[in-house]
Structure 1
Amino acid sequence: MANLVLVTGASSGIGEAAARLYGEGGAKVLLLARNRERLDRVAGAIREGGGKAAAYSVDLADAAAIEETSARILREHGTPDILINNAGAGRWKSLLDTTAEEALAMIEVPYLAAFNLTRAFLPGMIARKGGAIACITSPASYLVWPKATAYIAARHAMAGFAEALRADLKGTGVTVTLVVLGTVETPYWEHNPGSRENMPAPNPLLAPTLSSEEAARVIRDALERGRRTVFKPAILRALVLLNAVAPRLVAKQLRRALPKPSTARGD
């Protein structure tokens, strides 16, 4: 069992659910996010339930802040057994509707945040010859559709990071798991207005919406089994495989699934 688990984006949604799940399981949970008030609330709830938790308010888009916070964590707790790179941000918008600042922010979180945090804790994992790293992403790491240009590019970076890191770490005892989640009902949609309207309409029979708690269990189970890549709902794997051999067909279907302009709310 993992004794020390670090979760980013732990103040709400999937990150909060994962932190609570590991806390209930007996692990000490380190919670990272920007919002101090919400972090303290989650950490307090874990402690009230008999678990152990420590909150670290940090701007994950700031490399220097990550370095400082990581050094503090290493001093106070040591190297995590599990690192869950879950924090993400970014509105789904077309290229011309996306500013340069917004595009940069989507690269800073999730990709550079995962890069910098992993880089901080990886030496300890390698020295220990053990550890597990999870990178949480969306189908946008493999599929493309209109009106989400910068978001899709950033999510492709996350998949590339996880797969390249896995190649780097072969034989070290450190595992890398890429978790690809379909639609999850979280506060993300409230924080990124206009994104839901630019999402291809899901088929409820093939790709049901997940709760944050369901997503957290997917992450935990994937790490426990040492899985390389996990798709949830499982139908996403078939869609990604189809995209590899017939990308035009998949792209056409995703375009058809987009809301019609007359029904979509503008940004």
Structure 2
Amino acid sequence: MGRRRHQVAVVTGASAGVGRATARHLARRGIAVAVLARGRKGLDAAAEDVRAAGGRPLAIEVDMAQYDQVEAAGQRVEDELGPIDLWINNAFSSVFAPFRETRPEEFRRATEVTYLGYVHGTRVALTHMTPRDRGTIVQVGSALAYRGIPLQATYCGAKHAVVGFTESLRCELRHDRSNVKVTMVHLPALNTPQFDWLLSRLPRHAQPVPPIYDPVVAARAIVVAADRPTRREYWVGAPTVLTILGNRIVPGLLDRYLARTGYRSQQTDQPVAPDQPVNLWHPADGVEGRDYGVRGSFTARSHVHSPQAWLARHRVITTAGLAAAAAGVAVWRRR
């Protein structure tokens, strides 16, 4: 399974969090990285990150829910940076609230950004990649793409939809014998700024369900997936693996467990700040003029390494180690 080397990459949702960390990681290869998001402050800072890491940046303000804006952004990347080799769909927005407390217009908006934003990005990427018969699309997903949890119906529904859409698309590309590759990367709970800016109707400040990982763990996995897109999916972090497999085996048990623990585990002991920004309709950095950066409020509790993710990235070494262990056991048994 050979690595693909990219010269021009597009990262959506790149003004903060996972997208920002991924743009930095790619830029260390000295390639051109287009960073797409809504907030100007975060975009300018992300472009400077790319430049400082050795890459060539292009920052474009885009609302991923608006197809015409995404289409124009894709054309601008091609005109100013060159042919797009890699497109990473990562942008999202959501609402922390029980479903019955989420207004219809809020649910629609979150779905348009988080699900249709991926559809729009994929369509634009294919528009440019298909005629050249090459390119890679990475869909950044979540363990919640396979297991819904309380208080996040908007996000879980959109991520589930991304999986179904991507599986259909993959079949069509195979039918067409296309060399354009599509892969997904499903992530665990991460210390990103989303918990400081998503619309929340919870009584206390929202938090990721522990254990919490640093966004660089996600960024490393996304870049590996971009290099090796022939693999259908990457599951990052042991909690992701356990969540997806557990939902396949005992979904009813998880229903009961999450009904009992899901509300408490997604909130801190602190009340929601009355002036907390909301990025559903407008970028949070546009309201505050603040660059949120890569990390959120839970750095002291986050892990910068994932043994499971390392094993996934180094499958040759892992397979060789398992084979050697199996051979050792066979020899021992014969004694």
Q: What's the TM-score, normalizing by structure 2? A: 0.72
What is aligned with 2:248? Answer: 244
Matches within 5 A, 1:18-37: 18-37=22-41
Distance 2:269 2:46 in 1: 37
Q: CA deviation at 1:66?
A: 1.6
Distance 1:3 1:153 in 2: 34
What is aligned with 1:205? Answer: none
Go from structure 1 to structure 2 and tell me whether the alpha carbon gap of 1:66 and 1:262 turns closer, same or farther (over 3 Å shift). closer
2:162 to 123, 137, 158: 158
What is aligned with 2:49? Answer: 45
What is aligned with 2:113? Answer: 109
Go from structure 1 to structure 2 and tell me whether the alpha carbon gap of 1:37 and 1:201 turns closer, same or farther (over 3 Å shift). closer
Root-mean-square deviation over aligned CA pairs: 2.4
Go from structure 1 to structure 2 and tell me whether the alpha carbon gap of 1:73 and 1:248 turns closer, same or farther (over 3 Å shift). same
* Partner secondary structure for residue 169 of structure 1: helix
What percentage of aligned pairs have identical amino acids? Answer: 34
Aligned residues: 262
Distance 1:75 1:51 in 2: 17
Give, as a single letter, the amino acid of the residue that structure 1 aligns with 2:219: A
What is aligned with 1:176? Answer: 182
What is aligned with 1:128? Answer: 132
Matches within 5 A, 1:84-103: 84-103=88-107
The one-character-per-residue Cα deviations of 1:81-131 (angstroms, maximum 9, x if unpaired) are 110001111022212110111111111112111111211120331222221
Go from structure 1 to structure 2 and tell me whether the alpha carbon gap of 1:67 and 1:223 turns closer, same or farther (over 3 Å shift). closer
What is aligned with 2:74? Answer: 70
The more displaced of 12-21 and 188-197 is 188-197
* Partner secondary structure for residue 73 of structure 1: helix
- The reply to whether residue 217 of structure 1 matches residue 223 of structure 2 is no
- The reply to whether residue 6 of structure 1 matches residue 10 of structure 2 is yes
The one-character-per-residue Cα deviations of 1:185-224 (angstroms, maximum 9, x if unpaired) are 011111115478667843xxxxx32111111001111222
Q: CA deviation at 1:47?
A: 1.5
Q: CA deviation at 1:259?
A: 3.8
Kept in 2, the 8 Å contact 1:198–1:259? The answer is no
Go from structure 1 to structure 2 and tell me whether the alpha carbon gap of 1:234 and 1:172 turns closer, same or farther (over 3 Å shift). farther
Kept in 1, the 8 Å contact 2:125–2:137? The answer is no
Q: Which has the higher contact order (CA 8 A, sep 6+)?
A: 2
Go from structure 1 to structure 2 and tell me whether the alpha carbon gap of 1:77 and 1:250 turns closer, same or farther (over 3 Å shift). same
Distance 2:66 2:73 in 1: 11
What is aligned with 2:327? Answer: none
What is aligned with 2:194? Answer: 188
Kept in 1, the 8 Å contact 2:32–2:81? The answer is no
Unaligned runs of 5+ in 2: 275-335
Go from structure 1 to structure 2 and tell me whether the alpha carbon gap of 1:142 and 1:265 turns closer, same or farther (over 3 Å shift). farther
* Partner secondary structure for residue 58 of structure 2: strand
Q: CA deviation at 1:265?
A: 5.2
* Partner secondary structure for residue 7 of structure 1: strand
The one-character-per-residue Cα deviations of 1:58-85 (angstroms, maximum 9, x if unpaired) are 1212222222222222333343111000
